[in-house]
Structure 1
Amino acid sequence: MSANPRMESMELSANPFIDDLIRDRRTKRGFLDRPVALDMVRDILEVARYAPSSSNTQPWRCYVVTGEARKRVTTAAVAAFRAGPEKLEPEYPFFPQPLPDPYSTRFNTFRGQLGDAQGVDRSDKTGRMRDVERQFLFFDAPVGIIFTMDRCLERASFICYGCFLQNVMLAARGRGLDTCPQQIWSLQYPVLRAEVGIPENEMVIAGMSLGWADNRLPENRMALHKVAVDDFTSFIDA
């Protein structure tokens, strides 16, 4: 007999709750003007910290910005972007240049789909700039989280970090909240160092918008194509 009846019940379930949670999670790009209790954010991080990491190194560091701190960060970030987007450089490369297929096809398909949902044509430079600015406003979410990692660590720690970020997003979804993970905040490391006090030895990995999604927005209702299992998996038994 199992020492943990609850775990045994979950193992026997044909469609455990976690499956639905993973499928239900979506990146949201617009949030309601509704506060999120700081205790709820703390609870999310409390669960997320159980992510696996290489030799239990746990490379994550989080800065939660709300209220006046959030306003200060977003105001400075938008100002830096308007002063010259070409001057903003990430702490690490996002994609190789040029991006090869099939990744470039997937990228361009998504960008076109998102632009259609937002009513912004790819030739509309002003509209596209406005949508980038929304990222630096945390898409109006009441909570912004900045994630950093000690820059002495190697690329392998990004694998650990990905597990942690997924835990944050799933724990949020399980509480009825939504998220938008944002690599783009890595471009704003000078602002974040000045406004949040992030030390030089920490690399800005990403930011995340956290709140109650505004699902009236078309971009929050997009259905994205996901590659089928047989298209990315080789099953080898001999």
Structure 2
Amino acid sequence: METIRSNTTATAPAPTPVALRVTVEDVLRSRHSVRAFLPTPVPRSTVERLLSLAARSASNSNCQPWQVHVVTGAAKRSLTAALLRAHAGDDEGRGRDYPYQPEQDGWCEPFRSRRRRFGESLYRDTLGIRADDPGARLDHHRRNYDFFGAPVGIVLTTSRHPLQSALVDAGLFLQALMLAARGNGLDTCPQASVIDFSPVLRRHLLIPDDQLIVCGVALGYADPAHPLNHLRTTREPVGSFATFHGDEAD
């Protein structure tokens, strides 16, 4: 590069970083739920870009029924404090918009066993928490309401009017958001726990009644030193869930 000589000292601009080339397969294989984040801020422009990419998701008749509420800084701290108060016993703050999952004794196989294995790998194997230590389990669960320390918390909602198709569309948006984040060097954790306190979310984020609160999402940079981020869950082989109809030659 030619040096520009002048009476003042010129500083050459920093080179533009070369974007890391990743494939869809890369981000699918590297995405995992992160439950411990660094405090490193995520610029609003980055969040907006990720949301713009997620908005490319398919939706029924292109209805695009999703809405998102992004909380950072003081707004996130205020919401976290309210969620923790509700979790500690404020019954008026409890309530879900839809039955996300069965009650504790309502799980059937094979889902009961898969859920149990996940709980054991999280609490016993990763965190060293015994099954007879409910206090330690509760302490970990409370971290959900600070979005696991992530600098960005997102609450995903969808319109009630397209009925259950809107939940499918919201799921497509959620997956696209998580993959877009991973492709840009960020990490996420989808969180059903926050919807246990939908009245709190509605009050703090001014969510109207015609919006169904789907889930939360923690967004930021994973803390590589935290043992939680070494946890990897297994996946069932294709043969266990796929049925092929027709000849292989087809």
Q: TM-score, normalised by structure 1?
A: 0.89
Q: What is the rounded CA distance, in whole Å, between the counterparts of 1:86 and 1:79 in structure 2?
A: 10
1:119 deviation in Å? 2.0
Q: Which residue of 2 aligns with 1:6?
A: none
Q: Which residue of 2 aligns with 1:111?
A: 119
Where do residues 4-43 of structure 1 align in structure 2 (5 Å cutoff)? 17-43=23-49
Q: What is the rounded CA distance, in whole Å, between the counterparts of 2:166 and 2:160 in structure 1?
A: 10
Contact persistence 1:31–1:211 (CA under 8 A) = yes
Q: What is the rounded CA distance, in whole Å, between the counterparts of 2:99 and 2:80 in structure 1?
A: 23
The question of 1:57 aligning with 2:66 is answered no
Contact persistence 2:95–2:199 (CA under 8 A) = no
Identity in percent: 35
1:88 deviation in Å? 2.6
Report SS of the residue matched to 1:136.
helix
Report SS of the residue matched to 1:205.
strand
Q: What do residues 73-131 of structure 1 show as CA deviations (whole Å, max 9, x unaligned)?
A: 00111111012579733211122341100011000100111002122222211111111
Contact persistence 1:185–1:204 (CA under 8 A) = no
| 1:199 partner letter | P
The question of 1:73 aligning with 2:58 is answered no
1:41 deviation in Å? 0.2
Considering only aligned residues, what root-mean-square deviation do their CA atoms show, in Å? 1.6
Q: Which residue of 1 aligns with 2:162?
A: 153
18-27 vs 124-133, greater mean Cα deviation: 124-133
Rg larger in 1 or in 2?
Answer: 2
Q: What is the rounded CA distance, in whole Å, between the counterparts of 2:79 and 2:30 in structure 1?
A: 30
- Higher share of residues assigned helix: 1
Q: Which residue of 1 aligns with 2:238?
A: 229
Contact persistence 2:86–2:92 (CA under 8 A) = no
1:210 deviation in Å? 0.3
Report SS of the residue matched to 1:145.
strand
Q: Which residue of 2 aligns with 1:12?
A: none
Q: Which residue of 2 aligns with 1:176?
A: 185
Q: What is the rounded CA distance, in whole Å, between the counterparts of 1:94 and 1:196 in structure 2?
A: 21
Q: What do residues 32-87 of structure 1 show as CA deviations (whole Å, max 9, x unaligned)?
A: 01111010000000100000011111111000001111111001111110125797
Structure 1 stretches lacking a partner, 5+ long? 1-15
Change (3 A) 1:57 1:175: same
207-216 vs 86-95, greater mean Cα deviation: 86-95
Report SS of the residue matched to 2:197.
helix
Q: What is the rounded CA distance, in whole Å, between the counterparts of 1:186 and 1:113 in structure 2?
A: 24
Report SS of the residue matched to 2:157.
strand
In the alignment of these two chains, the number of paired residues is 223
Q: What is the rounded CA distance, in whole Å, between the counterparts of 2:32 and 2:168 in structure 1?
A: 21
| 1:172 partner letter | A
Where do residues 76-155 of structure 1 align in structure 2 (5 Å cutoff)? 76-83=82-89, 88-97=94-103, 98-116=106-124, 117-155=126-164
Q: Which residue of 1 aligns with 2:222?
A: 213
Report SS of the residue matched to 1:83.
coil
1:156 deviation in Å? 2.3
Structure 2 stretches lacking a partner, 5+ long? 1-21
Report SS of the residue matched to 1:34.
coil
| 1:205 partner letter | V
Change (3 A) 1:85 1:136: farther
| 2:167 partner letter | F
| 2:227 partner letter | P
Contact persistence 2:160–2:166 (CA under 8 A) = no
173-182 vs 215-224, greater mean Cα deviation: 215-224
Q: Which residue of 2 aligns with 1:44?
A: 50
Q: TM-score, normalised by structure 2?
A: 0.85
The question of 1:200 aligning with 2:209 is answered yes
